[in-house]
Amino acid sequence: MKEIKRREFLNKTCPNVAMAILGVSFLEACSKDSDEEVIPIPDTDGGYKINGNNIEIDLTHPNFSKLDSAGWMNFTEQRTLLLKSGSAYFAFNNFCPHQGARDAWSYNSSESKFICGRHNNSYPTDCVTEGTNGGPLQCYTTSKSGNTLIVTKP
């Protein structure tokens, strides 16, 4: 069993955690207000990364293969609907303009409309035309660089 000296343990462990272990009865966050650190969002193996207001999507990643097979997907982690039409890509806020459902979407390719199954309202993809109940879908700017789709949120 690996041993650790008491002083070494206290130096390596957050002092408040150590006090709690030792029976001190107050709890306080380990970090102080003055030393708040910015936690960078790490590159993920989920096929995308966040860069400021941009979502940078690796279109070759299996998590985004549905864009090729179905032509659209609800990218729920980033609350974004993605649509592929020919070689063009579009992105929308997945917040339903009716009552805000984010997880009931389907896509009608013959009418080029997203349908929210919560109350079966439909929404054109032109970013201007209102849906059958509620305003238009909010569009995001997209661009493509190689196999990377960049979605820019406002």
Q: Which residues bind ligand FES (CB under 6 A)?
A: 96, 98-99, 101, 116, 118-119, 121
* Residue 91 C-beta: closest distance to ligand FES, Å: 18
Report the residue number, 49 or 118, with the smaller CB distance to ligand FES. 118
CB of 111 to ligand FES, least distance (A): 16
Q: Is the dihedral of CA 142, 144, 145, 151 positive or negative?
A: positive
Q: Which value, to the nearest 10 degrees, does the dihedral of the CA atoms of residues 21, 26, 29, 31 take? A: -80
Q: Based on CB atoms, which residue is closest to ligand FES, 63 or 106?
A: 106
Q: Tokens 């009608």, residue?
A: 108
For the beta carbon of residue 47, count every other beta carbon within 10 angstroms: 16
User: Between 48 and 75, whose beta carbon lies closer to ligand FES?
Assistant: 75
